[in-house]
Amino acid sequence: MEAAQRREWILKELSEAKTPQSATKLARQLGVSRQIVVGDVAILRASGKPVQATPRGYVLQTPPAGNVTVASCHEAAQVLEELYTIVDCGCGVLDVTVEHPVYGEMCAPLQIFSREEAEDFVKRLEVTQPLCCLTGGVHLHRLQCPTPAHEQRVLKALQEKGFLQT
């Protein structure tokens, strides 16, 4: 398969995938090395394709329609409860942002859309600390809400649990 065809195939796979796709998995399917896939993705990104690298693999960035940013505050021990609250309302967590006094705004992609993905994320936090620990628990999440009703439901649930900063 030629390089251009391979890149088109990668875009198609990412557009059809429900979960992030690792470079290793894509490479195995293509019969090439992981480095080839990483290079192809770099070229796709440089050409303006909305491919985003997450800790679990590559995803195509979602369109901004239906996204809402919320200010949240909680202790590190409440991360899983917050994530469950969001995904149980049918929404996803696109990223987390904190304001650091030296570095300024720091944003990390999350792409969490299920309880399983939330549990995987929290398990990885066992060896480190979440970004919200840098700011006394205060952070922003960009949420993907499929409909306005989902948005209202998740905002109400987060408010009831005391996570929302107003």
What's the average model confidence in pLDDT over 14-19?
Answer: 90
- Same domain, yes or no: 85 and 45: no
- Same domain, yes or no: 82 and 47: no
Which residues are CB-neighbours of 141 under 8 A, at least 6 positions away? 69, 70, 72, 86, 93, 94, 95, 96, 97, 110
- Same domain, yes or no: 80 and 46: no
- Same domain, yes or no: 104 and 41: no
Host H or E run for residue 27: helix 23-30
Cβ atoms of residues 143 and 91 within 8 Å: yes
Host H or E run for residue 122: helix 115-125
CA distances from 42 to 18, 70, 123 (A): 21, 31, 29
- Same domain, yes or no: 54 and 106: no
In a domain, 165, yes or no: no
Q: At CA 28, angle to CA 26 and CA 33, rounded to 5?
A: 90
- Same domain, yes or no: 128 and 155: yes
| Residue 150, marked binder | no
In a domain, 90, yes or no: yes
Residue 138 pLDDT: 81
Residues in a beta bridge with 166: none
Domain span at 42: 3-60
- Same domain, yes or no: 77 and 137: yes
Alpha-carbon distance of 149 to 14, in angstroms, equals 28
- Same domain, yes or no: 91 and 150: yes
3-state DSSP assignment of residue 126: coil
- Same domain, yes or no: 79 and 131: yes
- Which of 60, 80, 109 lies at the terminal end of a domain, its last residue? 60
In a domain, 133, yes or no: yes
Is the pLDDT higher at 45 or at 160?
160
| Residue 141, marked binder | yes
Task: Report pLDDT digits (tens) over 119-164.
Answer: 999 998 887 766 655 556 688 899 999 989 999 999 999 999 999 8
Cβ atoms of residues 125 and 134 within 8 Å: no
Band the pLDDT of 82: cuts 50, 70, 90: very high
Residue 127 pLDDT: 75
In a domain, 166, yes or no: no
In a domain, 31, yes or no: yes
- Same domain, yes or no: 46 and 106: no
Alpha-carbon distance of 148 to 128, in angstroms, equals 35
- Same domain, yes or no: 144 and 73: yes
- Same domain, yes or no: 18 and 51: yes
Among all chains, which residue has been given the structure tokens 């948005």? 151
pTM of structure: 0.64
Residue 67 pLDDT: 87
Among 50-64, 87-101, 110-124, 136-150, top mean pLDDT goes to 110-124
